[in-house]
Chain A
């Protein structure tokens, strides 16, 4: 990786080892949650959501405000590996993001 590409533009993604077993239904979706944080700027969160998910500005802002006011926001619901990629990418930008099985 070249230094000029390091940083938030290049969140790490590593292939999962093949010995992983899917514990529940293989295709059951996982929810990706972004949590409130007292440091990340509101504009920065909008920027990250736009960049990672390709959201329009009103959608990204609505989700950001949900994080701000409710403490968390569901930003994606995806198969496990895609959810993992999103969490990893969001951590690359410094957002507090987790995934959990959809209920």
Chain B
């Protein structure tokens, strides 16, 4: 597929990729983003949880790092179109980008404490509001990619439409 980003989007994505790479390199267990990307594996048995986390951590981190590198390379290999960037994605690339976008959104969500956040209280012009807007924008890209890799999965529209534009019973989250 062909993915076209404007200059601001491409720069934003590069920044986000670099930030997440730093999070992974830091691997600080107190970092909520790290905690979210490498979550608990077993409940009811802490020893089994520690053991399984230890078994899968390195591969999981390696796959995430490789995904970031690959997306950075895709952006670098894109062709300029006016002020924008055009990136050709193979089917494998599409899956990869979908996963990287998800990791970035998970990391941002963890950092802003989205579990406790009431979006209605957030000033859209605040730094928090901006980060939510970034998450939503990456989410739209995910929807676009999902519509290609698995059309039946997007029959539910995740977009949180205003009341006067459609039903709202399906929120943007799971």
Using CB atoms and an 8 Å cutoff, list the residues of chain A in contact with chain B: 1, 3-14, 16-17, 20, 23, 33, 36-47, 50-51, 57, 60-61, 64, 67-68, 84, 87-88, 91-94, 96-101
Contact = CB atoms under 8 A, between A and B. Distances in A.
Contacts of B98: 7-8, 44
A6 B146 contact: no
Contacts of A37: 173-174
A42 B44 CA distance: 27
A96 B66 CA distance: 21
B33 to A, nearest CB: 11
Interface in B32-59: 37-45, 48, 51-52, 55-56, 58-59
B174 A87 contact: no
Contact of A93 (B69, B102, B173): B102
Nearest to A49: B153
A16 B55 contact: yes
A12 B102 contact: no
Interface of B: 37-45, 48, 51-52, 55-56, 58-60, 62-63, 66-67, 69-70, 73, 90, 92-93, 95-100, 102-103, 105-106, 109, 114-115, 117, 135, 139, 142-143, 146, 149-150, 152-156, 158, 170-174
Contacts, number: 179
Contacts of B58: 12, 14
15 contacts: A3-B67, A3-B70, A6-B96, A7-B66, A7-B67, A7-B70, A7-B95, A16-B55, A37-B174, A38-B115, A46-B152, A60-B153, A88-B60, A96-B39, A100-B43
A50 B152 CA distance: 10
A98 B66 contact: no
Contacts of A68: 171, 173-174
B92 A5 contact: yes
A98 B63 contact: no
Given A42-B158, A42-B170, A8 B153 contact: no
Nearest to A33: B43
